[in-house]
Amino acid sequence: MSTKDPFIGKQAGKCVIEELIGEGGTAYVYRAHNEAFKMDRVIKILKREFSADEDYYPRFKQEAQLVARLDHPNILRVFDTGMFENHIYIEMEYIKGVTLREYMMRHGRLPEKTILNMALQIVGALRFAHELELSTPEGVRVRGILHRDIKPENIMITPNKEVKLMDFGAAEVLTVAAAAESGGKIFGTLAYMSPEQISGYKLDVRSDFFALGTVIYEMFTGQKAFPAEGLHELMEQVKTGKYQPVRKLRRSISPLTEELLDKLLSSRPSRRPNDAAEIEEDLKICQQFYSIYGTGARIKVPISWRKYFSEISLGMSFVALVLSLFAIFGKNPNISLLNYSGESAEAQVMIHQAKLLEQKNKISAAIEEYLKVPEGTKEYVEAQTHAASLYYSRLKQLSKARSILESLRTKGVNDPYVDAILGLIYYQMALYPEARQRLDASLESNKTPVLEIDDQFKDDIQYFLSMAWDREYRHINKDPKVLEKALKAWSYYLDVSCESGKNLKSSRCQHAQKRKNALAKSLL
C-alpha cells in the first residue's frame, strides 16, 4: 500500500502543492499552483534532516536571497521563500522542459549548432550573475555571484531550446568565494569541479568556466571529461587536467570550437578566459565559423614557412653576431659586454635558440623561448610576432596568436607583417570585415616589416583580401558597394598575379576568374 505524500495539498506561502516532480540529495521539488496569480510554480522544500544543519539550512536560505536578485531570461527565477509546518521552502518559476541531462539522453549526439547556441545562453546567464552588484544585509556593496555547481542536472531546456540555469544552492558571492573553503567542506559536484575548487583553494569566475567546459565536452562526446569511478582517481584527473581530446571521440567538431573547449578545460586558471564577455565573443565567432565552414574544417594556412633560415644559416648568423660584438669590444676595451648591449644581446641569443628549436620541430618550446624576450628590447616585437606566427601556422591556435598580435597593436606597433598575419587569422575566424581591413593595411603600408614578406606571401595577402571581400558579400553584407569592392579585388588579383600563362592555370587564378565571373553576373 503506497504512502500518501505528506506535502500534496498543503499550502506553502501562496502556492498549493500539487505534484512531486523531482528529488535531490537535500530537497524535494514539487509543482504547485500560485492561487494569487493563477500560475504554476515550483516549490523546493529542504528535507527535514538538513533543516538543522549548520551548512545546508543557511545555504538554502542564501540560494533564495541570491537568486531573487538574478532577473535574467536564462536563469530560473525565484519569487518567494518562507516556512510552512516547520519546513523551509523556495517558490520558483515553473517551466515546461527537461534537464540538459535528460535532453542529452533523449536526443543522443547533439549538433554543434545546437551546442553553441545553448552554451551561449549559459554564458549569458553566468555573465549576468558574475557582474551583478548587490548589497549585503549589513549594507556592504559586493559584486558577482559564483555558481560553483554547473552541471547538466542544473540546466533546464525548454521545448524551444531556451536554456535556464538553476540551483544556486552552492553559490557564493565572489568576494567570499575568493577566500579558501573553510571547515573542510567543498560544495559542488566533483566531476564538474575545477582543479582549484576540488582542492579547496580560492575561486573566481574562471572556476565556473572550467565547469562550463566539462558540460560542453559532455554535450559533444556523450561522456564526462573526467570519467573516473574512484574518488582518488577522479580528483587526480581533474587536478592534472587529463582528459581525452574531444576530436578523438567526435571528429566532427570545428577547430575554433575545439580550441575554445581546450581553453575552458585548462587545469591552470590563467589559461582560461578572464571573463564571460570573452567567452561570448569566442562563441559568436565559433557560430559564424560553423555556419560558413561546417564541422571539422581544415583550412590551408596561406604561408610558406620554408622561408625561415635553415639551421646552418642560423648557426652562421649567431657566429657573425658574436664576432661582430667582439670586434667592437676589441676596438674599445673600455666598453663592457653588459654595458654595450644591455638586454639586447641576450634577446638575440633567445631568438637564435628559438629558431633552432623551431628547426627541430619543437614548436611549443620555440614559442616559449620567443616569449622570454623582454619587452623594451628592439627584438621584442620580432619575437612576439614569431611566437604568434607559430601559434597560427603550426599549432592552429588562432585565439592565442590573435591575442599576441592585438596586444602589439594596442602598444602602438604598426607593422605590415603583424597586420598581414592578423588579417589571415581574422579570415579563418570568418571575421571578414576585420580581415580585409588588416590585409589592406598591410598592402598599403610603406614600412619595413618586422619579418620578411616575400612575393609568395604578398600573393597570399592579396588573394585572401579578395576572398574576404567576396565572403563578406556572400555571408554578411549584400550591399552593392561590397559587391563592387569584391569584384574590383578579384580583377586586381587577376591582373597582378595571373598575367602569365603559367600562373593563369594555377588553382588560385582559376578560382579568382570563377568568382569574378559569378560576381559580375550578380551586377546584372
CA distance 65 to 507: 64
Active site residue 80: no
418 in Cβ contact with 450 (< 8 Å)? yes
Closest CA to 509 of 522, 496, 523: 496
Length of the chain: 524
Distance CA 121, CA 163 (A): 6
Q: What is the three-state SS of 351-380?
A: HHHHHHHHHCCCHHHHHHHHHCCCECECCH
Q: Which residue has the cell 574512484?
A: 230
CA distances from 96 to 100, 156, 215, 429 (A): 13, 9, 22, 36
Spot the catalytic one: 5, 149, 419, 455. 149
Beta bridge partners of 29: 22, 44
CB of 90 closer than 8 Å to CB of 15: no
* First and final C-alpha spacing in the chain: 80
Q: How far apart are CA 249 and CA 414, in angstroms?
A: 42
d(CA 259, CA 397): 7
Q: E strands, 290-382, where?
A: none
Residue type, position 166, single letter: M
Angle at 365 between CA 302 and CA 272, to 5 degrees: 80
Q: What is the 3-state secondary structure (H, E, C) of 253-300?
A: CCHHHHHHHHHHCCCCHHHCCCCHHHHHHHHHHHHHHHHHHCCCCCCC
β-pair partners for 264: none
CB 230 within 8 A of CB 140: no
Residue 329 near residue 337 (C-beta atoms within 8 A): yes
Q: Which residues form the catalytic set? A: 149
